[in-house]
Structure 1
Amino acid sequence: KIAAIGKQYGRIKTIIDATFATPVNINPLDFGIDLVIHSATKYLSGHNDVMAGVVLGEAGLLQALRQSQGVLGGVIDPHAAYLVERGLKTLELRVRQQNQTAQVVAEYLETHPKVARVWYPGLASHPDHAVAAAQMRGFGGVVSFEIAPQNGENPLDAAARFIDSMKIPLIAPSLGGVESLIMQPALVSYYDLSTEERLTIGIKDNLVRFAIGVENTADILADLEQALERI
């Protein structure tokens, strides 16, 4: 619908950031989007060792971007380009594994009594599940969920204790690498906002973001179980 509106009014160009989905799971150009961007730092390179980006689209638009790039800079260096190319060779293998594990993790968390809510487009409970199922080949490797505090514990503290109890993932705000990463948005991405300000954009103190890597699925489930037992 967004692409159709852009086309209807002619001069409006539509841009989609497909970093979380990757080309393995969706191709927005097929739906009429004008430009698609990816942070190659994430899934495309896949090893948390590159800073780069990608823009895809119609040749005329890309030519205009190249002219601006030549003036403003932001040109990837040869070694970084090599690392991205290396990562692309295993992109589909990695993303398929991450899709699979994320789906299993989301379904497990949704039934756990110490989890209040799970956000993952592969779940029927997600408000946009129908759209995702119609457009995507997989639902990605990032699962967000809200910890259910026990015995009146502060929600911020409960989520922090859960994260500190996890053994496999590193605590970091990125995503898309072979290593699993976990973080608490209230203390990382949105630390500079008050609780009230965060709530207006849907970020609760007990929210956890889990960017799943390529570790063994059973190991990740066992790690989640032992961490949830500590709440």
Structure 2
Amino acid sequence: MNVLIIEDDPMVEFIHRNYLEKIELFQLIYSAATVQDAEALLAKKAIDLILLDIHLKDGNGLDLLTKLRMNKTTHEVILITAANEAQSVKEGLHLGVIDYLIKPFTFERFKQSIELFKNKKQRLESAKISQETIDLLLKKAVLSEELEKGLSVDTLDFVLRAIQEIKQPFTIQELADQCGLSHVSVRKYINYLEHTDQLKAEMIYTKIGRPYKAFRWL
């Protein structure tokens, strides 16, 4: 997979590139500082994901995204910008971005966005897609209302994918390490999944030391 960084600040572009290299998901990492350069790259290179700034030297990232959608391109997009006006956020979400990151942000939050992209791509590659998966991808309001305060559909999707990949049974700390999230955050999602009968808790007894609680996907 290939990714394109559209960012006119060299230092910010360096940070994005450094984060992407640490994650080691993409084969090629391209960069463009202007809308014109970005359009030229998109016309001749196979790009799976675009990291898109809004305020660029020669235009607006949202205008570029609108044009891409009108041309029915399949590029996935994560908006990474200092623009936190409600209208920009609404427009970005309306245009189908995977995530919206407001600068500055942590590597952990950046990695979470990339995982959301990876999860969506993997789920859509299946021959058949379950209603649960569709609900997660579309962020159905009914699911959002079901979640407790402080939980998000995006992070739930991220945690679910990690659970499906991790060795069973697993502890909360093992899942936290797998996700790159805090122990406290992961515990909240484990509690939700256990309450909704998607996870089963079990006690693991060892010859030495105290027993500990682990979880298994149902």
Q: Please give the TM-score of this superposition, normalised by the length of structure 1.
A: 0.23
Greater helix share, 1 or 2? Answer: 2
Bigger relative contact order, structure 1 or 2 (CA pairs below 8 A, ≥6 apart): 1
